[in-house]
Chain A
């Protein structure tokens, strides 16, 4: 085929593509199926706060999640069992659970009951035990969890603008998984008589 033929064919192809109807109605009316899934409150909720460009939120979330992991790792390494055992018992601050992650995967999905149970269980255990941690470590842990929750919140907002975005969905899942891992690590750290039975966060199905 000569170059001329190719251009000619390309032009004819473009013309043919341009003639295709953009609208192709479905063979059956899909409205009844859609209507059945419309929750009355969903679209009627108060208008969302104006968004920042989600790319910034996403970038911030990635940084926060990464930073959170590093902090947790260093926390677990430094504050080994002996220091925990020596730490005086103080009442657990209420702030650990005050801003617990909403158990929602994006604006339109629910997380699995298994995840919710594990999250609830780990949070409750940590509330009991956090008083055994040194104040500095406790502060870092609380900051760490708060950062993860802010990250999840930002990703959730971005997902609302880009529903179904695969990158955001994966990031949100990893953030939830990260939070479970932090909770589990903190519980292990604060366990008085060694780590007791607790949910294995690495095997939780989100």
Chain B
């Protein structure tokens, strides 16, 4: 069951991410933005599978809600139809695909050598029981995450306050930046 759901969400994530970057049917930025929403929602599905329920909710609220509205607003503000007609440079496209593909293959092979069967065989016996007992316990419910944030001697109260100041600064900065030029 969990494996099937993982396959669905992972496939949806990667597919819609590809459609954000390179959509063969439409070069319109609005299409990209809407596929970005699909990506965010399937990522939050992955978060649910990983037991991070609070983060899944925050992901949908912040990304599919706030960030997407902002993106769509800006797309409509800029009126980008002219730019959509421009063609991609084929050489740069081929080079980009080659470079990124090579990077991904390196990453994949290093993953396989780290977590592959050959390297794990001797560790599995010792690790499996422990890891599974731990994995069952870690659930990112709102309560657990709040306790991790605010309680204990390794709480994150200071970073939390700094982030709130950062949000205030961002708000003031955005108002300043999007004001009409004083003449």
A pairs with B: no
